[in-house]
Structure 1
Amino acid sequence: MLQVISNQQKIVKKNGGFGIEILFPGKGTGSEDSGIGTIGRIDQATVTPGTLVPMHPHKDDEILTYIRSGVVEHKDTEGNIEIITNKRLMMMNAGAQFQHEELVLQEGGVLSALQIFIRPEIGGLIPKVQFYDFPEAISRNEWREVAGKDDPFPLQIRSNTWIYDIRLEQGKQQSLPVLPLKDATCLVYLFDGLLAVNENINIQKGESLVVEDETILLKAVEDCNIVLFVTDRNARVFKEGMYSGNINRTK
């Protein structure tokens, strides 16, 4: 199965210098679950320098801050005060109780980033925060492990989820990496650029493609920054996280 999730299926919000495009990937496929397996929500953010996102809570979300440009000062209730950039990424394993704030610094210019909300395996886990310094901001034409359930992924996610990225240069082709499990569901998210899939599907900036039981070939029509999400739909997952949870659930 191949299914494109278009930009028209996103929710757009803007407040002052803070703008986000919100993707609930399950809603994009018409599912009763707003997420897909462990993939709860993906926010593509554009934030002007000097903007402060004040201290606010998270609960039962595994949150990857994936920066492509800009510099952010991060503070949280675990006592961390850290600078994060496109080479120094952050995973907030929010667990039972967690708060943080983010200040976009003038020195880095406009922030362009993804805030990725992954579902944990169970609720009420102990909160923690991870930082990792990558040698380079991008991985040219080769898939790179970013975050996942186990080694060799440098940032750890507490559920059956694996995240890769690649900078695919114009004219270059690449298939998906060797996946960590059989019967995986993949979400190919195009951060920017123009991407051809199997020579008959075009994906634009901000759009994504759900892949199940298919072999695909990606070709960069323009330089592309791509984020790949891999999830196990059959794994145990907690769907009541503050942001990652199923927004369609009934109580």
Structure 2
Amino acid sequence: MDDAPSATTQPTLYTAPRTEISQNQGKFRIHFNFPGRAVPEHDDHGYGPLATVVESFMDPGTLIRMHQHRNEEIISWVPDGVMRHDDRQGNELVTDADHLLVMNAGSGFWHAEETLADDPPLRMLQIFVRPHSLDLDPGIQHEPIPNRVDNEWRHLFGPEGTDAPLFVRNAVDFYDCRLAAGTTTTLPSRAGWHTYLYVFDGAVDVGEGSLGYTESALVTDDSDIPVTATEDSTLVAFTINPDAPITRQGTIGR
């Protein structure tokens, strides 16, 4: 007797529209994307160690004065334009398309952000990761990142000890990709981990669904899922260990 063909199992994929959770401070505007809210009856706005992905806008000539973060890892990803940083450790840093900034706030880190009057309008992502333990040593990383290769995922940060250029102190990997219209790639995945995808620009078909500008999807297994750009797109993706130990005492990314 022949074996019956096995049924094709579709990946578990939840999509979310553009967030309605925002703050408008005039020259500084932010939109909070909470990956956990994509999953029905999920009791956490974050998803494991990934607390929130914040879309931030700064007009030219904007200063966000010196302030403190504690017990969170804050990553600034700037695909275009510049974000100027200074802190109480004496660092004066410029984050742009060629650099990534990670503040490992730990027990406390003070910093300020600024755009100058002749800088271009800034739109960036600020990513908040929950560390595995409270009151770790504070520090900052500001490093050049590998050149982008169109239509390929670029690994930008990961847990300590990985081959990513920068690290965070929990089980999250971060990738970006510029995907040309009509091109297909596979969503980053890792055995036993889940993946969160955010469309910074453009539109894509992902699995059985579609995502547009600032929409997102959470894949709650480690399936290989095709992503096809229906227009030129800029994408970011996070692979996440949903069972990693986390803290919930961050200044913003609780």
Q: Deviations over 1:213-246 (max 9, x none)?
A: 233100000111111111111111112212221x
Say if 2:154 and 2:176, in contact at 8 Å, map to a contact too: yes
Specify the code of the residue in structure 2 equivalent to 1:143. Answer: W
Q: Deviations over 1:133-173 (max 9, x none)?
A: 1243x431111110001321011110111111111111100
Does 2:89 align with 1:78? yes
Per the alignment, residue 103 of structure 2 pairs with 92
The alignment's TM-score, normalised by the length of structure 1, stands at: 0.91
- Specify which of 120, 140, 148 is matched with residue 150 of structure 2: 140
Instruction: State the SS of the aligned residue for 2:79.
Output: strand
Does 2:251 align with 1:242? yes
CA RMSD of aligned residues (A): 1.4
Q: Deviations over 1:17-40 (max 9, x none)?
A: 111111122133242111000000
Instruction: State the SS of the aligned residue for 1:189.
Output: strand
Say if 1:139 and 1:165, in contact at 8 Å, map to a contact too: no
Whole-Å separation in 2 of the counterparts to 1:215 and 1:177: 8
Instruction: State the SS of the aligned residue for 1:193.
Output: strand
Structure 1: which 5+ runs fail to align? Answer: 246-251
Whole-Å separation in 1 of the counterparts to 2:30 and 2:63: 14
Larger radius of gyration between Structure 1 and Structure 2: 2
Does 2:210 align with 1:202? yes
Q: Deviations over 1:99-147 (max 9, x none)?
A: 11001134430101001000101110010000111243x4311111100
Specify the code of the residue in structure 2 equivalent to 1:18. Answer: F
Q: Greater CA deviation, 124-133 or 22-31?
A: 22-31
Whole-Å separation in 2 of the counterparts to 1:29 and 1:215: 19
Say if 1:71 and 1:107, in contact at 8 Å, map to a contact too: no
Per the alignment, residue 105 of structure 1 pairs with 116
- Specify which of 150, 153, 163 is matched with residue 152 of structure 1: 163
Q: Greater CA deviation, 101-110 or 166-175?
A: 101-110
Structure 2: which 5+ runs fail to align? Answer: 1-11
Say if 1:57 and 1:99, in contact at 8 Å, map to a contact too: yes
Per the alignment, residue 128 of structure 2 pairs with 117
Whole-Å separation in 2 of the counterparts to 1:244 and 1:16: 22
Q: Greater CA deviation, 188-197 or 235-244?
A: 235-244
Whole-Å separation in 1 of the counterparts to 2:31 and 2:55: 5
Whole-Å separation in 1 of the counterparts to 2:174 and 2:89: 25
Whole-Å separation in 2 of the counterparts to 1:139 and 1:102: 29
Instruction: State the SS of the aligned residue for 2:36.
Output: helix
The alignment's TM-score, normalised by the length of structure 2, stands at: 0.90
Say if 2:189 and 2:195, in contact at 8 Å, map to a contact too: no
Whole-Å separation in 2 of the counterparts to 1:107 and 1:134: 25
Whole-Å separation in 1 of the counterparts to 2:132 and 2:96: 28
Per the alignment, residue 3 of structure 2 pairs with none
Does 2:201 align with 1:192? yes
- Specify which of 7, 28, 31 is matched with residue 18 of structure 1: 28
**Deviation at residue 178 of structure 1 after TM alignment:** 5.3
Instruction: State the SS of the aligned residue for 1:68.
Output: coil
What is the aligned length? Answer: 240
Say if 1:78 and 1:128, in contact at 8 Å, map to a contact too: no
Say if 2:67 and 2:110, in contact at 8 Å, map to a contact too: yes
Say if 1:13 and 1:21, in contact at 8 Å, map to a contact too: yes
Per the alignment, residue 7 of structure 2 pairs with none
